[in-house]
Amino acid sequence: MTGLLEIKEKIKNIYGKFDVYLNPLFKFILALGVFSIINGNIGYMERLNRLTLTLVFSLICCIFPVNVMILLSGIVILLHLYALSLEVAVVACILFLLIALLYFRFAPRDGIYTVLTPLCLHFNLGPVMPMAVGLTGKAYSVISVVCGTVVWFFLDGVKQNGPALSSSSEDAAITSKFTAILNQLMGNKEMYLVIFAFVLVTAIVLLIRNLSIDYAWTAAIIIGSLVNFIVLFAGYVLLEISGKIVGLVIGSLLSLAVALVLEFFLFNLDYSRTERVQFEDDEYYYYVKAVPKMYVAVKEKQVKTFNSKNGKKTARKRTSGY
């Protein structure tokens, strides 16, 4: 455990020194992943599906706030959908406008959750997001997760029904395309199930992690993972959605591991040294529970210096710690 704490403190120290350079780098990598996945799944416009443009878009996103990444991603998606079908692009544009009104009204500072949610769903790590929001965000931050979930299911449906929605299909009427794309969005029972599970998990994790109990974050992560698994498992069985159980088990275990890593870096406490303090002022009595953070004990390092003139060596001690 001491070795892990040392690694953690070293990472924190490095990040503290070079955050000016690391933050843009992280945003560049995130944007590169976002645009690569967009082009790889719905890359219907060949002129946009180029590495040079992806790199340029990623460089732009690494300079500006995350909301610029969301805006630019939406534009790229609309252009790809326009190349597929005008009707699909119109429906997507209306959907994005509604999501933007909801997002910028309630959670404009939670853009990172909106960007990460489709990525996590793409890699079958969806449960990570409601637990991360419950651990680090506010109650309204779940709106950003809902927005990202709706976008991912919409684009996944477009990808699965791409040939039927293509503008090149002459026998498909405009009204039938609108009907198909709206039914795909409004009638997607799995999307509603996942949104319900994510909102419920976020509320449970947020409630438990704010309790004054030992290992609150650990309990919130474990209970949140179980609730997410039970709700989605029961929903898949009741809705007769097949082929999802194995992915659900693997995704739940991976999401649990990621959430525990997040707890280690953000909320690692030493409950063995818990103290309870009581004091008062003119109007109130205060009962405070103080739990210290885990830290690495100070180590002593012995530094030897050699004198080249007389061949003698001396030793002195230097203390350092994390």
Mean pLDDT of the chain: 83
Q: Quote the CA–CA distance of 171 and 161 in Å, as a whole number.
A: 16
Domain-embedded: residue 134: yes
Domain-embedded: residue 232: yes
Q: Which residues contact 72 (CB under 8 A, 6 or more apart)?
A: 57, 60, 61
Residue 316 has pLDDT above 70, yes or no: no
The pTM (predicted TM-score) of the whole model is 0.81
Q: According to the model, what pLDDT value does residue 267 have? A: 66
What would the mean pLDDT of 77-93 be, rounded to a whole number? 90
pLDDT in tens, 267-288: 665 555 566 777 777 777 777 7
What would the mean pLDDT of 296-316 be, rounded to a whole number? 54
Residue 289 has pLDDT above 80, yes or no: no
Q: According to the model, what pLDDT value does residue 284 have? A: 79
What's the number of domains the chain is made of? 1
Q: How confident is the model at residue 291 (pLDDT cuts 50, 70, 90)?
A: low
Domain-embedded: residue 290: no
Number of C-beta neighbours around residue 134 at 10 A: 29
Closest C-alpha to 191, from 123, 244, 140: 244
Closest C-alpha to 33, from 100, 125, 98, 107: 125
- By the 10 Å C-beta count (0-12 exposed, 13-18 middle, 19+ buried), 296 is classed as middle
Domain-embedded: residue 185: yes
Domain-embedded: residue 142: yes
List the beta bridge partners of residue 287: 278
Q: Which residues contact 76 (CB under 8 A, 6 or more apart)?
A: 35, 38, 39, 48, 57
Buried b (16+ CB within 10 A) or exposed e, 29-53: ebbbbbbebbbeebbbeeebbeeee
Residue 322 has pLDDT above 50, yes or no: no
pLDDT in tens, 216-267: 888 999 999 999 999 999 999 998 888 888 989 998 999 899 888 888 777 6
Residue 295 has pLDDT above 70, yes or no: no
Tokens 């953000």, residue located: 266
pLDDT in tens, 29-82: 999 999 999 998 888 898 888 899 999 999 999 999 999 999 999 999 999 999
Domain-embedded: residue 57: no
Tokens 């994510």, residue located: 198
Query: Pick the residue with more confidence: 187 or 296?
Result: 187
Least confident of 135-139, 249-253, 263-267, 304-308: 304-308
Least confident of 6-10, 139-143, 145-149: 6-10
Q: According to the model, what pLDDT value does residue 298 have? A: 45
Query: Pick the residue with more confidence: 211 or 148?
Result: 148
Phi, psi of 84 (to 5 degrees): -80, -50
Share of the chain above pLDDT 90, in %: 42
Check if the beta carbon of residue 297 is closer than 8 Å to that of residue 169. Answer: no
| N- to C-terminal Cα separation, the chain | 14
Check if the beta carbon of residue 296 is closer than 8 Å to that of residue 307. Answer: no
Domain-embedded: residue 215: yes
Buried b (16+ CB within 10 A) or exposed e, 302-320: eeeeeeeeeeeeeeeeeee
Q: Quote the CA–CA distance of 227 and 233 in Å, as a whole number.
A: 10
- Residue 143 structural domain: 108-149+160-268
The runs of H, that is alpha helices, within 123-188 are 128-136, 142-160, 162-165, 174-186
Q: Quote the CA–CA distance of 181 and 137 in Å, as a whole number.
A: 33
Share of the chain above pLDDT 70, in %: 83
Domain-embedded: residue 166: yes
What would the mean pLDDT of 135-149 be, rounded to a whole number? 91
